[in-house]
Every structure is written in structure tokens, then in C-alpha cells.
Amino acid sequence: MKPRAIPIRPSYYPHVKIAITGGTGFVGRHLADSLAREAHEVAIVGRSATGVGACSVDDEPALRRAFEGCDAVAHCAGINREIGRQTYRNVHVRGTRAVVRAAEAVGARKIVLLSFLRARPACGSAYHESKYAAEEIARASKLDWTIVRSGVIYGRGDHILDHLSHALHTFPVFGLVGFRDRPIAPVAVADVVRILKASLVEGALSRMRVAVVGPEVIPLGEAVRRVAEVLSKKPVYVRLPIWSHYLLARVFDLAMKVPLVSAAQVRILLEGVAEPSPGCDPLPVSLQPEVRLTSDSIPRGLPPPSSFGLTDLRCCFQAR
């Protein structure tokens, strides 16, 4: 029998206060905007936040101050490459432990953790393993918890459409990952936000670990071609061996402020992002993602047309 959904507040009290870690990031911003439009109170938490919310995700005392008075916490903070102290262990593992302890200390009732579709232990990827470790910390907490395992999320401000757009405006050749196309099931950020809100505000998906993928499974190359078509670009597609993408990821990591692709992303695309790791609960029909990656949805997520330039380089960025 599935556990009963536990509402955060009685149904006659429609407004809640929700803290969002990673609230200045891609999914966090969309979630915060949507909650604010519905008159919920939002506390943005993150290194680039302002006021009491400006703190590192592993700083438990600061998190307690930021979470004060919150009914629930949406833990959206995460990284896809390691820089200095921002390691997978510090952000995903130590950070989640600090978030859980802070939420328990201030009396929050709910935590919703945004995780990764293929998170699992002992797989040889520090990214995947740290995401799974974070899930286990949330599941062991005293809080009502929900784990949302999402695949490739796209929308305004993402790394997918944003980087694809800049790359297609910059290079006449596009390198596809490996000699065999991998499947992905892109999910619109609006669909992810809808699921997060149902859990945070309505108490849906209590003590469940759900997989969230888009309504259509397509080859990675097809996704790139759809974006290129919307942009009226016709690059030459070249299949490159896996090792060359890892090499490019290393070069981009050293050279670019936000790399075109990271080593963790290469591993993710190499596996395919359509099927979840074992151990997920089924997502209710009412919350199933609906938006497809089409010529209707792609333009809504695209940045203004521009190519990569000197300001994208780390040396130029640091000198400013």
C-alpha cells in the first residue's frame, strides 16, 4: 500500500512559506516565480542570494536562519562540475545533510529533493553516486520527504537550449556523442515545477521517489536537429568518439566560465537519459509531464540569438 499524502498545512490554509536552495539557479528560479505568483512566501537560499539567504549549502547555522518560519524546503541546489570547494561531496552530500538538519531544527515538515534520473551507488561516477547519497540522507530524515528524479530539463535559462543555441550560432560543425545515438526524454521545466509544487504545497508524493521524464523519447541527435531547425541553422553533424568528448570537456572546463559540456554531462549523455535507475515509484497520471520538445516549446526556452565570445572565457571573466 502506498503511503498516504501528508498535507503540509490543512487544506483551508492555502499559503505556505517555502525555502528553495539553489533558488537563483535554473529550476529554483522557475519554482520561486511560480510559487510567488500563487501568493506563497518564498525564501531564496544560495551563494548568490541576498540577505539572510546568502549562504553556502553546507553552512548549517546559516541555513537555519534562512529556513526560519518555513513549512517546507525545496532542495534544488546542485552542480555538474567541481570547482574548488564546490565538490560533489560538499554540495550534494554534506550540503544535503546540512539542509536536512537545518529543516528539522526549524520545524519544517517537508523536504523535496531534486535529484537525477540515473542516480545510483557504486557506478563509477562521482556525480551519480553523490546524488544517490543525497537521496538516502533525505529518506533517513525525520521530515516528510519526496525525491524527484528528473532527466534532461529544458526551458528559459537552462544549460541545454542555452548552450545548444550559442554553439549552433558559433560553429558550422556539431559533434554528436559517440557513434551510436543515445535516447533522451527531455522534460520542460514547467512540468517539473508543477510536480515540485504539488509535493510542496499539496503534500503529494509523500515518501515517494518518482522518475520525471518528458512525454517523448527521442535520440539525442534528433533533439539537436529540432533546435537547429527552429534557429534556421544547418550545421554539419559529425559523430565523435567518446574519448574526444571527455577531452573537449576538459578543455572547456579550463577555458570557459560555463563549459559547453562537462565530464559529468558526457557520462550522462553516454548512458542515455530516458530510463530511471531502479527503485522509483510511478508518477500519478495527473502529474505526468505533458510538454514535448517541439517548434512550439523550443522558442520559449531559447536565449536571445548570439554566439560564444571572449566574455565566455574564464580568463576574460576573471579579469573583469
Name the residue with higher pLDDT: 32 or 174: 32
CATH for 73: 3.40.50.720
| Cβ contact 277:118 at 8 Å | yes
Q: How many domains does the chain have?
A: 1
φ and ψ of 54, to 5 deg? -80, 95
Residue 7 lies in a domain: no
**Cα separation of the two ends of the chain:** 58
Confidence of residue 7 (pLDDT cuts 50, 70, 90): very low
Burial class for 256, CB neighbours closer than 10 Å (0-12, 13-18, 19+): middle
Above 60 in pLDDT, residue 218? yes
Cell (9 digits) for 305:
540569438
Residue 124 burial class via C-beta count within 10 angstroms: exposed 0-12, middle 13-18, buried 19 and up = exposed
31 domain-assigned: yes
Single-letter amino acid code for the residue at 189: V
194 within some domain: yes
- Residue 108 located in a structural domain: yes
308 pLDDT tier (thresholds 50, 70, 90): confident
Does the pLDDT of residue 129 top 50, yes or no? yes
* The pLDDT of residue 4 is above 50: no
Q: Is residue 250 part of a domain?
A: no
Residues 74 and 200: beta-carbon distance below 8 Å: yes
Query: At CA 244, angle to CA 251 and CA 219, rounded to 5?
Result: 110
The C-alpha cell that represents 22 in the structure block: 539553489
**Residue with more model confidence, 159 or 41:** 41
Position 292 scores a pLDDT of 97
- Is 177 within a domain? no
- Name, in order, each residue with C-beta under 8 angstroms of 247's C-beta and a sequence gap of 6 or more: none
Q: Hey, what amino acid is at 153?
A: I
Q: Do the domain assignments include residue 249?
A: no
pLDDT band at 249 (very low <50, low <70, confident <90, very high): confident
* pTM (predicted TM-score): 0.90
State how far Cα 207 lies from the chain centre. 20
Distance (Å, rounded) from C-alpha 35 to C-alpha 22? 15
| Average pLDDT rounded to a whole number, residues 93-115 | 97
Least confident of 1-10, 45-54, 294-303: 1-10
Residue range 138-175, pLDDT digits in tens? 999 999 999 999 999 999 999 889 988 988 998 898 88
Whether pLDDT at 11 is above 50: no
Q: What is the rounded distance in angstroms from the CA atom of residue 263 to the CA atom of residue 139?
A: 28
Q: Is residue 307 part of a domain?
A: no
Distances (CA, A) of 121 to 58, 118, 136, 198: 22, 10, 10, 28
CA-to-CA dists, residue 312 to 131, 155, 159, 197, 258, angstroms: 28, 21, 14, 34, 7
Q: Are strands 41-45 and 173-177 parallel, antiparallel or unpaired?
A: unpaired
Q: How far is CA 9 from the centre of its chain?
A: 27
Percent of the chain with pLDDT over 90: 66
Distance of CA 235 to the CA centre of its chain: 28
Asked if the model's pLDDT at residue 10 lies above 50, the reply is no
Identify the pLDDT of residue 14: 62
Mean pLDDT computed over 10-30: 83
pLDDT at residue 318 greater than cutoff 60: no
When pLDDT is cut at 50, 70 and 90, the band that residue 208 belongs to is: very high
Q: Domain range holding 208?
A: 17-154+185-215+274-289
pLDDT for position 311: 74
Reply yes or no on whether the pLDDT at 227 is more than 90.
yes
d(CA 149, CA 117): 4
| Residue 9 φ/ψ, nearest 5 degrees | -130, 160
